Structure 1
Amino acid sequence: MHNTRNNSSVSIWQATTTLPAFPPLEGDVETDVCVIGAGIAGLTTAYLLTEQNQKVVLIDAHCIGSGETGRTTAHFFPPDEWYHNIEDHFGAEHATLVANSFSKALDLVESIIKKEQIDCSFERLDGYLYACSEKDFKNIEKEFNAAHRAGVAVQKLEQVPGISFTTGPCIQYSNQAQFHPLRYLNGLAKAFVRNAGIVHCGTRALKIEGDKLMQTVSTDGGKIKAKSVVVATNTPFNNKLVIHTKQAAYRTYVIGVRVPKKSVPRILMWDTGDPYYYVRLETPDSESDSEILVVGGRDHKVGQDDHPEHRYDEIEEWVRERFPMAQSVEYRWSGEIMEPADGLAFLGHNPIDDKNVYVITGDSGNGMTHGTLGGMIITDLIMGRDNPWISLYNPARKAIHGISDFVTEQANTQVQYVDWLKGSEVASVQEILAGQGAIVRDGLHKWAVYRDDQGELHAVSAKCTHLGCVVHFNSAERSWDCPCHGSRFDTNGEVLHGPASTPLAPVNLELIKT
């Protein structure tokens, strides 16, 4: 099973792609636009801006596709929030705008693939939302009517066609899509470089400061002066509170199960359950007699399940109950998604900076669509053009819709600070097994202690460098995860995922070897 790389899970996309390497920044540079983050959001934005003859420098703390784009299930389907909820919260006109934006984003991806001749297994497919139980039948009816009013091509069916189990009533959304996300990024990066774009990997952005004329991005390799800056890092590191109080970080889990070729129809599928599951099919090798059924779900708040391995088992159990042809599990991985309180992504001007700093965040399970859409909106903003979706996805909007979810999430965040009052998770570090970690208390201090497979201990401060929550050990990914705002760190304290931008402080092991 392809389940570990550097002690973390590996997606089917990471296991089947080699991405180009680019050198880190060395020294100071000046450009029109600096884009931070080389996932689908950052690369799309960078590419579109070079198509407008803008000079663009793209940087990433790690490498192209090393973040959440490589850990997605890479499907294009309707809003995770559902059209009837969007209509209830924002009105029918806004639901139509959302439908239009999703359609245009997918059209853009397809046109870029054709123009740049990117081999990434892109295909248009039908998607199906089905009811898990009779109590959800009304929701299917509501969603069908709202999607139809929004101008979406939908049909209502009694059963998802070609599936080996009874699904009950469903909605068919025509003309959705899927692709191989890292092969798409590979082609997009090459096109960006052909357009004279510059990429620096291994370059972490630490700070952004400036004014409406010029911003300076300070990195660990030099400074980048730019007329505009785009933060496309899944969640923004340059914003301490404003965005992070309006969205919550969740982890989602995925397995890839081998199935005989043509035993499962080529469709997208997801259900109304809680927890819910989503399904697609991948054909890694056209010569093979098997395919990979990709199934995800079992989401939870980041840092709030220390031993989430059971979630993989629960997904596998769900698969085997419904797909009797399922064979071996070939892949297991997890990813991070940002859930905005009102269900719509935050794409546009960063609320607390001058109007030349932009953010793309709040993917809400539609990362491929929102990443592309963010690039479209921000390119128009930088070029001074009108765009029909600017106000809809404005990051400065108030969370007046979904206010109950907002209150619940904020209460959940505040509760996490109680961890500072708790004692050690182990009586002695000798109790920490190889491959495991634990929080150790020493007076007012808390240390995050990990024992590697060779038996060596590694210790860092347990205080998240974003807003001071106590991190929790994630045994599935072997990482330290913050339960407040979703920052993640490796076992040496280096940042894996923001909003934190600085590592966990190192600790002298002699202080805690007991």
Structure 2
Amino acid sequence: MRAPDHLYGSHWLRTAPPADPAPPPEGPLDVDVAVVGGGVAGISTAWELARRGRSVAVLEAGRLASGVTGHTTAKLSAQHTLIYDRLRRTRGPDAARLYARSQTDAIRRAAGTATELGVDCEWEETAASTYAEDPGRIPELRAEAAAAEEAGLPAEFVTDTELPFPVAGAVRVTGQAQFHPVKYLLALADDIRRLGGAIHEHTRVTALSEGDPCVLTTASGTGGTEVRARNVVVATHYPVFDRALLFTRLSPRRELVVAAPVDPAAAPRGMYITPEQNTRSLRTAPLPDGGRLLIVTGEHFTPGTGEDVAERFDRLAAWATDRFGPLSFTHRWATQDNDPTDSVPLVGPLHPGARGVYVATGFGGWGLATGIMAGRLLCDLITGRACPWGELYDPRRIASVVREGTAFLKQQADAARHFVGDRLPSSGGPSSVDRIAPGDGAVVRVGGERRAVHRDDDGALHAVSARCTHLGCLVSFNRTERAWECPCHGSRFAPDGHVLQGPAVQPLEPRDL
């Protein structure tokens, strides 16, 4: 769905080449593999399988690459903040090496694919750095540099960077890349079609029946249709079908992005991130006039918790201006990630008893390299080839669940607090719809039932059920992005109730006032 006008929109979607819409299927489909989700993981998986001669169909609820993938910072890196020292301590040095190998393999795969297909996706090889301004974090950075180097990455601890402000230190990894993800993925989609694959947009999958074959039900067209497939890949960012209760191991996180042209002579050419100040991530991208666009990400928060998003946007813009001088912001947007409780994405069989159903989720903010890696791994699993890092990412891993410990329990406590608390009497929020300002929304009691009520800019009221259709938690209104959001698992809905982001697949039901 197009972002509201009061958000300036994603640079990647604004500058993507025009693409003809791919309509929903006109009747039942029979394919070897059905891929649910048209982001980086779904398109990469379908492309890898089509290259190996499998018949594939990509089923996307909106437009290709217009969801989380179209709102990324677009770093293609194996350097994921401070992950290697953590992996070395929690899962051992072999796991850290496999993680580094798998992510590096994804970068090389993307580079080779862009060259092979002749994709003009603004590919730039550069270094990725995790930095800190606080000298007290130097030991942490040194440990990460040592762990990343031990894992096989070209990593080192440095104290000098090209940033226009001082840092205490940084972990620098060379040989990484940044690119235009939508241009890249649309080229892969064209190649999928050339190889005989099918792509269907505006095709929301609402049900999955596992078997031989599996049967997917869609809500597209007049009454929807069925797609039969020997294998199914659920690549919807947050799994919309979760027979293994993976939502208990995922924490949704929303982040904001601001962007502004910057003097090319002073523009950083590397990619930078710091865990400080509620995360600050930055890179620059080429502009058609030869300039550079500074892209800054941060201010993460849990969706649906009533955050003042406008204030967070202002805070992020002020941080960028403070460090780079006066800026004229031309873009701002928001994205959403899911953090796995043990830091490692979940890619593989959907649940212990799954036969032919796979999932890719929990990318933790590093979805580009991980999504491309997931395509390679899932293709190997489906075609019966061995993959050296399959066990590392396997969603069925049990020992890792035990090691998740505190993070796992915190995620359950947060979800339970909303799930139970939302069912208790509360005096919070406006007691009457009359107190809802134009452009805003709130959950109010009407006739003993909680209803999500939005007043549009013209003053008209729109009411829907306030219960998320995933597991029934109470939604909250994000007035900056004009969306209802669920604090339990991150589902998002438009003011009229239709689904913007899963795991929910059904809209919020309309209600009368």
- The answer to whether the superposition gives a TM-score over 0.5 is yes
Counting aligned pairs with the same residue, the percent is 33
Partner residue, 1:11: 10
Rounded Cα–Cα distance in structure 1 between residues aligned with 2:200 and 2:231: 17
Taking a change above 3 Å as real, the CA distance of residues 443 and 420 of structure 1, as seen in their structure-2 partners, is farther
Partner residue, 1:139: 140
Answer whether contact 1:19 1:182 (CA < 8 A) is retained.
no
Answer whether contact 1:240 1:466 (CA < 8 A) is retained.
no
Rounded Cα–Cα distance in structure 1 between residues aligned with 2:469 and 2:244: 13
Asked whether 1:446 is paired with 2:445, we answer no
Partner residue, 1:404: 406
Report Cα offsets for 1:149-182 as digits up to 9, x if no partner.
Answer: 111101221121x221111211210011111111
Q: Decide which moves more: 455-464 or 233-242.
A: 233-242
Taking a change above 3 Å as real, the CA distance of residues 507 and 295 of structure 1, as seen in their structure-2 partners, is same
**Which runs of no fewer than 5 residues in structure 2 stay unpaired?**
none
Rounded Cα–Cα distance in structure 2 between residues aligned with 1:228 and 1:22: 22
Answer whether contact 1:9 1:477 (CA < 8 A) is retained.
no
Asked whether 1:304 is paired with 2:308, we answer no
Q: Identify which of 481, 488, 508 aligns with 2:492.
A: 488
Report Cα offsets for 1:465-507 as digits up to 9, x if no partner.
Answer: 1111000101121110000011111111111111111111111
Partner residue, 1:505: 509
Partner residue, 2:122: 121
Shift of 1:334: 0.5
Partner residue, 1:52: 52
Asked whether 1:243 is paired with 2:242, we answer no
Say which SS state the counterpart of residue 172 (structure 1) adopts: strand
Rounded Cα–Cα distance in structure 1 between residues aligned with 2:274 and 2:335: 19
Shift of 1:127: 1.1
Counterparts of residues 336-415 of structure 1 (less than 5 Å)? 336-351=336-351, 354-398=354-398, 399-415=401-417
Rounded Cα–Cα distance in structure 1 between residues aligned with 2:340 and 2:8: 26
Counterparts of residues 40-439 of structure 1 (less than 5 Å)? 40-77=40-77, 78-160=79-161, 162-211=162-211, 213-220=212-219, 221-239=224-242, 242-285=245-288, 287-288=289-290, 290-324=291-325, 326-351=326-351, 354-398=354-398, 399-417=401-419, 418-421=421-424, 422-423=426-427, 425-439=429-443
Rounded Cα–Cα distance in structure 2 between residues aligned with 1:25 and 1:117: 29
Say which SS state the counterpart of residue 400 (structure 1) adopts: helix
Report Cα offsets for 1:327-386 as digits up to 9, x if no partner.
Answer: 201111111100000000001110155220011100101010111111111000000000
Answer whether contact 2:210 2:357 (CA < 8 A) is retained.
no
**Which runs of no fewer than 5 residues in structure 1 stay unpaired?**
none
Answer whether contact 1:119 1:183 (CA < 8 A) is retained.
yes
Shift of 1:53: 0.6
Rounded Cα–Cα distance in structure 2 between residues aligned with 1:148 and 1:244: 33
Q: Decide which moves more: 411-420 or 32-41.
A: 411-420
Say which SS state the counterpart of residue 402 (structure 1) adopts: helix
Give the letter aligned to residue 423 of structure 2. Answer: W
Taking a change above 3 Å as real, the CA distance of residues 232 and 80 of structure 1, as seen in their structure-2 partners, is farther
Answer whether contact 1:302 1:482 (CA < 8 A) is retained.
yes
Rounded Cα–Cα distance in structure 1 between residues aligned with 2:429 and 2:497: 19
Shift of 1:262: 2.2
Matched positions, count: 502
Answer whether contact 2:341 2:404 (CA < 8 A) is retained.
yes
Rounded Cα–Cα distance in structure 1 between residues aligned with 2:496 and 2:414: 27
Rounded Cα–Cα distance in structure 2 between residues aligned with 1:5 and 1:331: 12
Give the letter aligned to residue 416 of structure 2. Answer: Q
Shift of 1:241: 6.1
Answer whether contact 1:423 1:441 (CA < 8 A) is retained.
no
Say which SS state the counterpart of residue 244 (structure 1) adopts: helix
Answer whether contact 2:258 2:332 (CA < 8 A) is retained.
yes
Rounded Cα–Cα distance in structure 2 between residues aligned with 1:219 and 1:424: 38
Give the letter aligned to residue 355 of structure 2. Answer: K
Report Cα offsets for 1:369-425 as digits up to 9, x if no partner.
Answer: 111111111000000000011110011123223311111121111111212322462
Answer whether contact 2:251 2:338 (CA < 8 A) is retained.
yes
Give the letter aligned to residue 208 of structure 1. Answer: L
| Normalised TM-score (structure 2) | 0.95
Shift of 1:8: 5.4
Rounded Cα–Cα distance in structure 2 between residues aligned with 1:4 and 1:79: 28
Taking a change above 3 Å as real, the CA distance of residues 424 and 447 of structure 1, as seen in their structure-2 partners, is farther
Shift of 1:4: 4.9
Say which SS state the counterpart of residue 265 (structure 2) adopts: coil
Say which SS state the counterpart of residue 106 (structure 1) adopts: helix
Shift of 1:199: 0.7
Say which SS state the counterpart of residue 113 (structure 2) adopts: helix
Asked whether 1:461 is paired with 2:460, we answer no
Report Cα offsets for 1:85-132 as digits up to 9, x if no partner.
Answer: 011110001000000001001111111111111111011101111122
Answer whether contact 1:424 1:441 (CA < 8 A) is retained.
no
Give the letter aligned to residue 411 of structure 1. Answer: A
Rounded Cα–Cα distance in structure 2 between residues aligned with 1:52 and 1:214: 20
Say which SS state the counterpart of residue 401 (structure 1) adopts: helix
Answer whether contact 1:7 1:478 (CA < 8 A) is retained.
no
Say which SS state the counterpart of residue 33 (structure 1) adopts: strand
Rounded Cα–Cα distance in structure 2 between residues aligned with 1:240 and 1:502: 17
Rounded Cα–Cα distance in structure 2 between residues aligned with 1:395 and 1:229: 15
Rounded Cα–Cα distance in structure 2 between residues aligned with 1:306 and 1:170: 31
Taking a change above 3 Å as real, the CA distance of residues 9 and 37 of structure 1, as seen in their structure-2 partners, is farther
Q: Decide which moves more: 375-384 or 426-435.
A: 426-435
Give the letter aligned to residue 494 of structure 2. Answer: D
Answer whether contact 2:445 2:451 (CA < 8 A) is retained.
yes
